[in-house]
Structure 1
């Protein structure tokens, strides 16, 4: 493996070894000779008529970059360079009869600072250039009457006749912030680079391509990144197990390109299924949700993959200690492009330290039985074959007839799959009339696939729409075998076959519109239609037990939302959403209100209130089998085990942003009705119970940046209580994931091409229900439980580390590479995540009560290497 890796690096570097290490100095050298040297050195190509470079002599001695080099050549000659793409440049004469040269500097009106990457468009010739870091631009071969438009997101556009910009001193052009952006204040580094927030009540946005390094992550992980934000926790140490302000993971709406995802984790949820390298933006709502989102009562995670037609061919490939991934993007034709990504685990072929740690974490409850029987190593045989795959394909078609339009059609598809084959054989177990063998086989597969067609069009600068048609299919299939045989004569003492399937067929369509009435008023409205068919089938052969649940629901939803902005001092967003659920034959209305006050330039206060409903949710697998991996079943409301969930939430707080300090504090109160005991899996509760919960919490973020060093503290206080009429005498008791205090302290530092990050996390242990003994009644054994969730596990804490190094594989920066290393649980702390109880038999065939603890993953290393072009 090492030799292959070394050979790969050598092959990658061979082109650069054959090149010169630096360009020579030039003193009155013909331009054509210099251009040939530049082509070889930077691996680029120039296209030009040899006649236009005749008699041009060059003197160069100070060269910093290709951009500076070409700029220097332009200053010494009568030519200019027109960049076609990263590899090809056209060379033209600056002067031509009937044409002029224009130039200028683009600056912000308020701050008087240069604006980089501003689009300078010659609308008459359909050509575009961008300003550099000084805000400077220069356009050659322009006709005096050509129309020049200057555009930059968040600013008002400006137009000029080209002749007004013909000035040797290069005019300064000032852009004013666009009022149509409704005065949103953008916090560009909410915790680290790549994480931003618009205003105080708006969503948190994450751009994985710009994301700074985070502890424990060897590569960006979309769902694990969210856990670094206050109010978002994962008490189970999983990626997709997001508990947002008192909600459980199934209470979150997760969308990928408009497709509803019912499974978002790989490797039993330890990794997220979404490829970060083709993801453009992740939008997270912890509260104050926009009215267009419905049918979930907790957080919203809206993931959008790359949405622009690629300008050039690009690809990347990477490998870490669990999987290999690749992406490819290309312009196929004028106005049409594709983006493709794929990922595949190699854990079924190679067993790495990372895979072993993940396996120990996932299968420990099965192995607990083995470990506590003191078997010889020769008596236990087990085989674990596990792998996952995901694939996405996106086609982007630009339907715009001119540069002023934004008319786009996109088709997105996603496929994710997890597959497990687990076998456990225990031979010659003593303690009964004769020795016996115990065999266990588990086969588990769950698939989530979907597609979405989206049409977006801006009819003018004030009105736009977005229309979607989607489907999402979820399939969960499990087969298990438990058998016990006498080792001498092969007599079958016990055999049990278990089969479970859970499927969801979700399809729908929507139309959303946005009407900007004027600079202060904005109105959004729309309609959503969806249909759900949910089935659950179970066959438990030991007791001849079968279970079949099948139901369907059609949802019609309308929404409207009004936004008001008064001089950037006061903002209001008031919306309402109405949902008709056919399974309940009832309409539910959801009012939503957000207020924001700018007390000063650096202090913003916020208040929000909302009501939300949910008609589909998960319950714990209640079959009495030995498959101890997390096994959640989706069911529709109005079934025997699930009720319609309804939640009200109010929140308020303030933010301070000054002198590289950022402080964000927000308190909330949330009440939920329609909870069921099956959905929450309380120990000792055998009958179906319906109840309610209330949660009060405070989320705090304090961040400071000192040059290339960032540090932030995230703290969450959560008090969540449940109430069920026949549980705990009808009194309130702590919820299953009532983590009162959760604190993380993160550090990150960048030094040249190195990045380092260290993070420490400490929190309260989860509540659990203690057991006091075993009761035997008519041949049946029952565990005696004390008050529900009356005890807590020990305090949880761990330290994580990550480091990365970026380097170039080519002179012109087209080939880039990155090496990453991470350590999860640096000091190998054994944290208890959950506690349950089992009844086991000793060597004398007497039953006893055993405590089963789910332990966190130990120290887990990971290493990654990737190349991007």
Structure 2
């Protein structure tokens, strides 16, 4: 009984306090006098500039509550009240040149009851408020053309223009229940604005247009943004090489508007290929993956560009120190519009400090060779011509109120021409010249036709037809000529090609049975043609791999939602792979329980399979850029991958504190030594891995200041029967501890962000010496991954300033500045070994791959 009486006592006191009133009766009285009386009566404090209330007088003739009194003052004067907490209020002028203040009450259209804690968001300024116990909200000094979004769980979202809500009296806005989709608990700010999380699941949504500033990013980057989330790492400092909970980058399913992407990086993966300014949402699954996603065993990154017909013509353009971009949004006709974007690097004709830093990072193997020889400056000639492009075109057609047709297309290209000539090299019996030429091109292109139809309030479907083409082409020349008489004594021509032709169709359905139960189902068909050709003339080595796989997949997923107290999602996916002539079943289940208003707990389990993977290419090639080759599972070097993952954790969201902790266990079978790049293992080995991890996020917000700590503990171990005596050993990317501490602050139109990252050095296999045979020199290696690199750490900074180029706020501009690796720490990312010949002697040479040094970047853009 004690808890009951205690709760009852608290309830009575809260009720009495909420209804507390003061006897106020004033006739044409100065506002300053009334404010003093209110401070005494309610034990509150007002903060204001005396000029703000000068000459303001009001009349109050009846007994009112504090809230009603403040509203009465606002209705009779040119001031408004902004509540900071239960005691402190700020008084502002209602109007400012070019600004409006808006307020309203959100009410259920049927029951006429107020909607409490509904989400009201100024999209243009990324400012949000929640409605109070009376459904009341207020946003201050908005721009007249700002977009205001109103969202509430289980209700249809409504959108307004700020000037339409401006009124002497706060207007009533009625919301209707959503008759189609089950709602999700949305944590509106997971780490910073623009990043939200659906309930306690690992599904995280990112809207680049609302994204708050992040350290090191001069502009939003679709894939680099994900690296600020616990459980997502890039040990190689690249944008697209994402390791999600122990998986490698090729284990991730990456979709752009329903198109499978096989290459996602520009500038050798240092930038992502996706234009953030036309991207509407990025959904990330680290676990608890929905059954509609298949054929990858790790994370899912589902990227959608803008899906609504533009209301007005708009465009934006900008540049930074590597590329320029442009996008256009245009309504062509009623019910039809297009969105077009393009980017191109100008690094092939302008060399900036950012480009030089990126080049040094990408071409370290060549730089290492040059730096470790004794050359006169005149003897080295090199030329680096590099550029990238991406282009997207999207057409949106509303066939009817319930039918929509969307056609999306994407084209990305990276092109490199590199030449290196070194003259008069000493070290052998005769001096010689070394000539090297490399041409490298990555192309990824695709298209998707999507038809969405809502048949009635309970049933809808989405049908897709897509294709995706990936082309990797590399040609290289190595030749050595004697300096004295010019004869050729070594030549090696290298050719590598890897292509994927992926096409398919799918139909997915959603059936909302009632407010608590729903069911999703679907069928996917795809066909993959994968080809790899390689020819190394000097070694007499050639490969010719070509195969095809047809996939038939069906899935079903049931969801139960009991007033957000209990959520259950149970699904199964079946995949038939023709290349193996076998069907694989993938059960998935997710359970979420609201233990209280502020605490949510979650448990999940899932199984996944993967039929296509990448192999690290360690064939003779001193170009040494990251060269991953895609192959199907029946290849000599790639096996079918199967993975099980179990996870559980909880979140706490209270008093501007947010704590999220989740532990997981993940096992994978079918790994091969070639796919994982063990340079100490020469024979093909097949094995398994186990990963145990914990991801933790702690965030605190104080007004315009945010700080959060992300920490990941990972224990990744591999096991191969003939490696390390069949015992478990650390995986190649076993980063035991990874911690980032981020700060961001907004002051007027300025934003600043500072981030520090520290992590355990990755494992490497030490070399112990050289063994000479009649035909070869071989490096003797110790135990695989038995040593670790030094601890990695760096500090990054970003700043931006927003301003308008026109009085009507139609031309919006932004200047950004960033510094990567602020204190220029020389971190080692990887360590390998080479054999160096000096005066016909073989010497063991340690080759370290270093992180990028201090790298500045500046951006400028304009949006209309």
Calculate the TM-score normalised by the size of structure 1.
Answer: 0.83
**Structure-1 separation of matches of 2:301 and 2:445:** 18
C-alpha offsets along residues 194-248 of structure 1, whole Å, 9 cap, x if unaligned?
0001110151000000000000000000100000000000000000010000000
- Correspondences of 1:400-419 after superposition (within 5 Å): 400=400, 405-419=401-415
**Structure-2 separation of matches of 1:481 and 1:424:** 10
Report the counterpart of residue 798 of structure 1 in structure 2: 794
**Structure-2 separation of matches of 1:592 and 1:135:** 43
C-alpha offsets along residues 282-337 of structure 1, whole Å, 9 cap, x if unaligned?
00000000000000000000000000000000000000000000000100000000
Q: Does 1:446 align with 2:442?
A: yes
Report the counterpart of residue 834 of structure 2 in structure 1: 838
**Structure-2 separation of matches of 1:398 and 1:420:** 42
Report the counterpart of residue 331 of structure 2 in structure 1: 331
Report the counterpart of residue 5 of structure 2 in structure 1: none
**Structure-2 separation of matches of 1:830 and 1:734:** 24
Q: Does 1:366 align with 2:369?
A: no
Kept in 2, the 8 Å contact 1:749–1:756? The answer is: yes
Q: Does 1:456 align with 2:452?
A: yes
Q: Does 1:558 align with 2:590?
A: no
1:434 Cα offset (Å): 2.0
Q: Does 1:217 align with 2:191?
A: no
**Structure-2 separation of matches of 1:702 and 1:744:** 11
- Correspondences of 1:726-805 after superposition (within 5 Å): 726-805=722-801
1:600 Cα offset (Å): 0.2
**Structure-1 separation of matches of 2:350 and 2:789:** 35
Match of 1:679, SS?
coil
**Structure-1 separation of matches of 2:408 and 2:734:** 38
C-alpha offsets along residues 642-674 of structure 1, whole Å, 9 cap, x if unaligned?
000000000000000001100000000000000
Give 5+ residue unaligned stretches, structure 1: 1-60, 72-102, 119-130, 137-149, 160-167
- Correspondences of 1:13-32 after superposition (within 5 Å): none
Report the counterpart of residue 817 of structure 2 in structure 1: 821
Q: Does 1:64 align with 2:96?
A: yes
**Structure-2 separation of matches of 1:183 and 1:816:** 34
Q: Does 1:855 align with 2:843?
A: no
Match of 1:542, SS?
coil
- Correspondences of 1:35-114 after superposition (within 5 Å): 64-65=96-97, 68=100, 105-107=105-107, 109=113, 112=116
- Correspondences of 1:642-681 after superposition (within 5 Å): 642-681=638-677
Kept in 1, the 8 Å contact 2:464–2:505? The answer is: yes
Q: Does 1:683 align with 2:654?
A: no
Between 463-472 and 618-627, the greater mean CA deviation after superposition: 618-627
Report the counterpart of residue 392 of structure 1 in structure 2: 392
C-alpha offsets along residues 247-267 of structure 1, whole Å, 9 cap, x if unaligned?
000000000000000000000
Report the counterpart of residue 124 of structure 1 in structure 2: none
Correspondence for 1:636 among 632, 635, 647:
632
Report the counterpart of residue 270 of structure 2 in structure 1: 270
**Structure-1 separation of matches of 2:179 and 2:454:** 18
**Structure-2 separation of matches of 1:278 and 1:111:** 33
Give 5+ residue unaligned stretches, structure 2: 1-92, 123-134, 141-148, 159-167
1:132 Cα offset (Å): 12
Kept in 1, the 8 Å contact 2:600–2:651? The answer is: yes
Q: Does 1:714 align with 2:710?
A: yes
**Structure-2 separation of matches of 1:484 and 1:651:** 56
Report the counterpart of residue 868 of structure 1 in structure 2: 863
Report the counterpart of residue 298 of structure 2 in structure 1: 298
Kept in 2, the 8 Å contact 1:689–1:725? The answer is: yes
**Structure-2 separation of matches of 1:430 and 1:104:** 81
Between 171-180 and 305-314, the greater mean CA deviation after superposition: 171-180
Kept in 1, the 8 Å contact 2:616–2:675? The answer is: yes
**Structure-2 separation of matches of 1:523 and 1:387:** 47
**Structure-2 separation of matches of 1:117 and 1:706:** 18
Report the counterpart of residue 544 of structure 1 in structure 2: 540
**Structure-1 separation of matches of 2:267 and 2:664:** 33
Kept in 1, the 8 Å contact 2:153–2:185? The answer is: no
Q: Does 1:471 align with 2:467?
A: yes
1:374 Cα offset (Å): 2.1
The alpha-carbon distance between structure 1 residues 390 and 532, as it changes in their structure 2 partners (threshold 3 A), is: same
1:181 Cα offset (Å): 5.0
**Structure-1 separation of matches of 2:565 and 2:212:** 32
1:178 Cα offset (Å): 4.7
Q: Does 1:577 align with 2:577?
A: no
- Correspondences of 1:590-609 after superposition (within 5 Å): 590-609=586-605
**Structure-1 separation of matches of 2:273 and 2:504:** 23
The alignment covers a number of residue pairs equal to 741
1:172 Cα offset (Å): 4.4
The alpha-carbon distance between structure 1 residues 67 and 746, as it changes in their structure 2 partners (threshold 3 A), is: closer
**Structure-2 separation of matches of 1:460 and 1:66:** 43
Correspondence for 2:423 among 422, 427, 430:
427
Report the counterpart of residue 205 of structure 1 in structure 2: 205
Report the counterpart of residue 348 of structure 2 in structure 1: 348
**Structure-1 separation of matches of 2:461 and 2:328:** 29
Kept in 1, the 8 Å contact 2:314–2:329? The answer is: yes
1:558 Cα offset (Å): 0.0
1:180 Cα offset (Å): 6.0
The alpha-carbon distance between structure 1 residues 726 and 334, as it changes in their structure 2 partners (threshold 3 A), is: same
**Structure-1 separation of matches of 2:499 and 2:442:** 9
- Correspondences of 1:116-135 after superposition (within 5 Å): 134=138
C-alpha offsets along residues 757-789 of structure 1, whole Å, 9 cap, x if unaligned?
000000000000000000011131100000000
Kept in 1, the 8 Å contact 2:120–2:150? The answer is: no
**Structure-2 separation of matches of 1:273 and 1:656:** 35
Report the counterpart of residue 191 of structure 1 in structure 2: 191
**Structure-1 separation of matches of 2:566 and 2:95:** 51
**Structure-2 separation of matches of 1:849 and 1:770:** 12
C-alpha offsets along residues 70-99 of structure 1, whole Å, 9 cap, x if unaligned?
x9xxxxxxxxxxxxxxxxxxxxxxxxxxxx
Report the counterpart of residue 41 of structure 1 in structure 2: none
The alpha-carbon distance between structure 1 residues 316 and 157, as it changes in their structure 2 partners (threshold 3 A), is: closer
The alpha-carbon distance between structure 1 residues 180 and 607, as it changes in their structure 2 partners (threshold 3 A), is: farther
Match of 1:670, SS?
strand
**Structure-1 separation of matches of 2:192 and 2:233:** 18
Match of 2:360, SS?
helix
The alpha-carbon distance between structure 1 residues 112 and 784, as it changes in their structure 2 partners (threshold 3 A), is: closer
1:156 Cα offset (Å): 4.0
C-alpha offsets along residues 546-582 of structure 1, whole Å, 9 cap, x if unaligned?
1100000000000000000123211100000000000
Kept in 2, the 8 Å contact 1:683–1:785? The answer is: no
Report the counterpart of residue 700 of structure 1 in structure 2: 696
Match of 1:360, SS?
helix
Match of 2:674, SS?
helix
Calculate the TM-score normalised by the size of structure 2.
Answer: 0.83
Match of 2:725, SS?
helix
Aligned residues: CA RMSD: 2.4
Between 105-114 and 558-567, the greater mean CA deviation after superposition: 105-114
Kept in 1, the 8 Å contact 2:753–2:797? The answer is: yes
